[in-house]
Amino acid sequence: MAERESVIRQLIEAQPSSPGSRGTLLRICRAASESLAASGAGISVFTPDSVRGMCAASDPRSERLEELQFVLGEGPCVDAFDSRRPVLVGDLAEDGMARWPMYAPAVHDHGVRAVFAIPLQIGGARLGVLDVFRDRAGALSSEQLTDALTFADVAVSALLDEQDGLGAAGRAGITDAVEHRAELFQAQGMVMVQIGGTISEAMARMRAYAYAESRGLSEIARDVVTGRLSFEQDNS
């Protein structure tokens, strides 16, 4: 196991860095995607109250697939975090449509046929989830599952390093996620006032708008905060 972890760390280190971006976490996503014969991978982090922020993704499509789970409020990432167990769906059409009636058809339309979500946790602390997407149906082999769990362990180490201020390479990714959550909270409060409703109703309205416009929730929050978007006239 230690030998395999060493190999995986070498695969991660071999990935090109992205200046001013998400550093170590981005390289983990890219290495996981390549090593697991996947079409993409993403890492999302959660606050203790289960508010999620997309932290890194191997490519733009995977970033959108990660964001879509938060917009819709369902998906393997959400389930893996809540259950503290891996969610392994080798055939999305067969096993995902009833489980995630909004998310599964949406990602299937994007060409995704299998998805694997590995919780990032240590002891009783839950940090986030590593998602792996494939464009072909099929389960992970036992070796691939072991590697996926190892990638998750390395991601946990990277996240803990950031919390301790030890890892410079991925600091921007954690900062971006934190700023995303702060902006989201601010936007929720503004929309709550605009529609004269509750904070939950504000989030539901923002999610519905993001889904209808095929945009990320973070984009909608940013537009609300900067004044480019208001829900004040949409209060029926």
Alpha helices (runs of H) in 14-141, residue ranges in sequence order: 23-35, 60-72, 76-83, 92-95, 103-109
Mark whether 111 and 204 lie in a shared domain: no
In a domain, 236, yes or no: no
Residues 157 and 200 in one domain: no
Domain hosting 133: range is: 2-169
Rounded Cα distance between 109 and 175, Å, is 32
* Residue 90 vs residues 64, 96, 98, 101, 123: alpha-carbon distances, Å: 20, 9, 15, 17, 28
pLDDT, tens digit, for every residue of 225-235? 999 999 986 54
Distances (CA, A) of 108 to 96, 118, 137: 10, 20, 11
- DSSP for residue 17: P
How do the pLDDT tens digits run along the chain, 236 residues long?
567 878 888 888 888 876 534 678 899 999 999 999 999 999 998 765 555 666 889 999 999 899 888 888 899 999 999 999 999 999 999 999 999 999 999 999 999 999 999 999 887 778 899 999 999 999 999 999 999 999 999 898 887 766 555 444 444 444 455 455 567 778 888 998 999 988 778 877 887 788 778 787 788 888 999 999 999 865 44
Residue 234 lies in a domain: no
pTM of the full predicted structure?
A: 0.72
Does 28 map to a domain? yes
User: In this predicted model, what pLDDT tens digit does every residue of 104-113 receive, in sequence order?
Assistant: 999 999 999 9
Query: C-alpha angle 168/177/150, rounded to 5°?
Result: 65
Q: Is residue 47 part of a domain?
A: yes
Domain count, the chain: 2
| 83/136 same-domain check | yes
Is there a domain that residue 233 lies in? no
41 & 144 share domain:
yes
Do 180 and 205 fall into the same domain?
yes
